[in-house]
Amino acid sequence: MNFKAGEVLYFDKPLKWTSFAVVNKIRYHISRKLGVKKLKVGHAGTLDPLATGVMIICTGKATKRIEEFQYHTKEYIATLQLGATTPSFDLEKEIDATYPTEHITREKVEEVLKQFVGTIEQVPPVFSACKVDGKRAYDLARKGDEVELKAKTLVIDEIELLECNLPEIKIRVVCSKGTYIRALARDIGQALNSGAHLTGLIRTRVGEVKLEDCMKVEDFEEWLEKQDIEVTND
Cα-based distances in Å from 216 to 11, 59, 202:
6, 17, 14
3-state secondary structure of 209: strand
Q: What is the DSSP letter of 149?
A: -
Contact assessment for residue 215 and residue 9, using Cβ atoms and an 8 Å cutoff: yes
CA–CA separation, 69 and 78 (whole Å): 22
CA–CA separation, 118 and 141 (whole Å): 30
CA–CA separation, 185 and 83 (whole Å): 11
Give the DSSP H/E element, type plus range, for residue 27.
Answer: helix 19-34
CA 196 remoteness from chain centre: 18
Q: Which residues are catalytic?
A: 48
CA–CA separation, 39 and 42 (whole Å): 10
CA–CA separation, 78 and 14 (whole Å): 16
Task: List all residues 6 or more positions away from 18 whose beta carbon is below 8 Å from its beta carbon.
Answer: 49
CA neighbor of 23 nearest in space, from 59, 66, 67? 59
